Amino acid sequence: MTCKRLHSDQTAPFPQPAPSQSSAPSALPRTAGETPAWWKEGTVYQIYPKSFYDSSGNGKGDLPGILLKLDYIQSLGVDILWLNPVYQSPWRDNGYDISSYRQILPELGTMEDMTALIRGVHARGMRIIMDLVVNHTSDQHPWFQESRRNPQGRKADYYWWRPGTPDSPPNRWQSFFGGPAWSWDETRKAWYLHLFSPHQPDLNWENPALRREIYAMMDWWLDKGIDGFRMDVINFISKNPDLPEGTPPEDGRPFFINGPRIHEFLQEMHREVLDGRDTLTVGECSGASTADAVLYTDPARRELNQIFGMDLMEIDYSPQGKWIPRPWSYREMKEILSRWQLTLEGRGWNTLFLSNHDQPRGLSRFGDPQNHREDSAKMLAALLLTLKGTPYILQGEELGLPNPAYPQLHHYRDIESLNFISQAQKDGWKESEILKALQEQSRDNGRSPMPWHGSGDTGGFSRGTPWINPHPLYQTINAENQDNNPASPLAWFRRLTALRKKEPALIYGQFYPAEPGDHRIFRFFRRSPDSQLEIILNLSPEHVSLPPRITEAWAQTALIIQSPGQPNQTEPITTVFRPYEVRIYKKNL
Ligand code: ISL
């Protein structure tokens, strides 16, 4: 089951309800009837701590480094920071293998640094959430060590142990990183389940004592002042205890994705930890359909605030998986986005993201970094900040950073990429083919060091030798040279976050897809009781001419923001959209 496409929804026809002519009265006009919440209004900035800013010179980004860059982060107009894992860990999967939930990895800082960061973030009026990785731990975690040593002890079934002999695993499930999902443990003389690497044994959520330990740990962190959690593969925590084989036998996904007790567990977690606290909870939910998303995020069900659905991230997965991508179309992209928007309207809450630490850069996938880097980056930023939901921006995305596309095999660090390289070599792939796949799809594309300025060997990331190579384009793409350039992607990003703060319709307004006039155009409305915004995005590198039935209505509206172009200067209304052009028209109702 190595990273195959997860079919979550049937493809639905592109929906086209016309915007209603009457503005329904609402008790909360600015929020268009939605219950207001900071996590609906905020934009999230994802920090990959090891690649953000190295204050110590050891080649790895660290917590004091983030603290030093808080003014920059605040200047973006973002409101919430999400930190990838910073816990004690042997770092087999870049911190997603935690060996102590209540300690910070010394290379990244101390608990005092973490407390100072929480304070610094709050002092600037922002919030901070941390990764919660509770589908599995590291095999070095004391729970696993005790569990493997003491089959009669209290922690004996904190993990998925099965008896047997070393030559016959309990089933043929494959892990997400390649290879079997079961390993034989010589100490306990039994098999244990790991959906990821053998160093990441899966926790057994059937055990109530384990669940209580996890809730206590969550409480502990919330008491320290963090504002919520990004929950890693949270919809994998409930497994069918029979652990049946799938079709094909290697595919166990039907038996642990959105598993039998998942909603019960999340509701219990809500009751035990989250009730009465004002937190942001966002679940990473690969394999969740839009219908599942409603179940997870409907506030009445008291589970999560939001989930990351993966349909858009898997748009280019072929039946052979992510390493052999397939072509995708603008129609498919719009269909996925519109389906998630429409299904969650009034029933849950969306996340909006095109990049993260597991994905190639959104710009390289959905834009044109070769020929229209800045304009396509601006269009994608507009897409993220004008649809309905909470936007998540990966560090560097505000600069229009494409994939680093490292040119040699030895540049890659990620466990999934390294496993792919050895498997592809065994399967007889040519080196050039392996490199091409990595340059397009490796998770390391989202993990390169943040380019702060154009000089030195690392673009201001570190005084030492970076753990992974600097971004090859840091001399031209960096925060310093965009900071005072009003035409830069960074300046555009700041204008968009400011616009979201000014226009409640961009937060709470209902989403209506509109007739695009051309398949390369994404056109939609955001409507609140007192205003309607019309957003038109040219998704393509081509000039697109729109028909008069669409363009004539613009005479009654104001063009409030446009790209390409200089700020405060809009072009006369034309019917031709330039490559990756963005326009937002506003009409008061
Ligand atoms: O990265 C993927 C595809 O290339 C996914 O299959 C990914 O492994 C999956 O979305 C789960 O991701 C999360 O859990 C993993 C960790 O490696 C990822 O970094 C994390 O985001 C295991 O903890």
Which residues have C-beta within 8 Å of that of residue 123, sequence separation ≥ 6? none
Residue-wise pLDDT tens digits, 46-91 = 999 999 999 999 999 999 999 999 999 999 999 999 999 999 999 9
CA 359 / ligand 1 centre spacing (Å): 9
Residue-wise pLDDT tens digits, 327-362 = 999 999 999 999 999 999 999 999 999 999 999 999
When pLDDT is averaged across residues 505-521 and rounded to a whole number, the result is: 96
Rg (Cα) of the chain, in Å, rounded? 24
Q: How far apart are the first and last CA of the chain?
A: 51
Residue-wise pLDDT tens digits, 120-151 = 999 999 999 999 999 999 999 999 999 999 99
Q: Decide if pLDDT at 20 tops 70.
A: no
State the closest ligand 1 atom to the C-alpha of 196, by its place in the atom list counted from 1.
22
Whether 232 is catalytic:
yes
pLDDT at 356: 98
What HEC string does 406-445 produce? CCCHHHCCCHHHHHHHHHHHHCCCCHHHHHHHHHHHCHHH
Determine the Cα angle at 492 with ends 491 and 498, to 5°. Answer: 90
Q: With DSSP H G I counted as helix, E B as strand and the rest as coil, what are the percentages for the chain, rounded to 5?
A: 35, 15, 50
pLDDT at 114: 98
C-alpha 33: how far from chain center? 27
Pairwise CA distance, residues 513 & 345, whole Å? 12
Secondary structure E strands in 261-400: 280-284, 306-308, 351-352, 390-394
pLDDT at 2: 44
Asked whether 250 and 279 are in contact (CB, 8 A), the reply is: no
C-alpha distances in angstroms, 280 versus 16, 131, 132, 230, 405?
Answer: 32, 12, 12, 8, 33
Pairwise CA distance, residues 503 & 507, whole Å? 7
Secondary structure E strands in 145-196: 161-162, 182-185, 190-193
Task: Pick the residue whose CA is nearest to atom 3 on ligand 1.
Answer: 3
- Kindly indicate the confidence band of residue 519, based on its pLDDT and cuts at 50, 70 and 90: very high
- Within 6 A (CB) of ligand 1 lie 3, 93, 96, 133, 176, 196, 232-233, 284, 286, 322, 357-358, 416, 443
Task: Pick the residue whose CA is nearest to atom 23 on ligand 1.
Answer: 96
Which of the following is catalytic: 34, 227, 250, 284?
284
Please choose, from the candidates 586, 588, 587, 562, the residue with its C-alpha nearest in 3D space to the C-alpha of residue 574: 562
524: three-class secondary structure by DSSP: strand
544: three-class secondary structure by DSSP: strand
C-alpha distances in angstroms, 96 versus 49, 150, 228, 285, 314?
Answer: 13, 25, 17, 16, 21
Which residues have C-beta within 8 Å of that of residue 93, sequence separation ≥ 6? 177, 196, 197, 199, 200, 415
156 or 569: which leads in pLDDT: 156
State the closest ligand 1 atom to the C-alpha of 93, by its place in the atom list counted from 1.
17
Please give the share of the chain, as a percent, with pLDDT higher than 90: 92
When pLDDT is averaged across residues 254-264 and rounded to a whole number, the result is: 98
- Kindly indicate the confidence band of residue 3, based on its pLDDT and cuts at 50, 70 and 90: very low
Please choose, from the candidates 132, 43, 42, the residue with its C-alpha nearest in 3D space to the C-alpha of residue 83: 132
CA 233 / ligand 1 centre spacing (Å): 7
Identify the H or E element spanning 562: strand 558-563
Secondary structure E strands in 115-204: 127-132, 161-162, 182-185, 190-193
The two beta strands, 100-104 and 87-88, are antiparallel
Pairwise CA distance, residues 85 & 129, whole Å? 10
Angle between helices 489-502 and 373-386 (to 10 degrees): 20
pLDDT at 9: 44
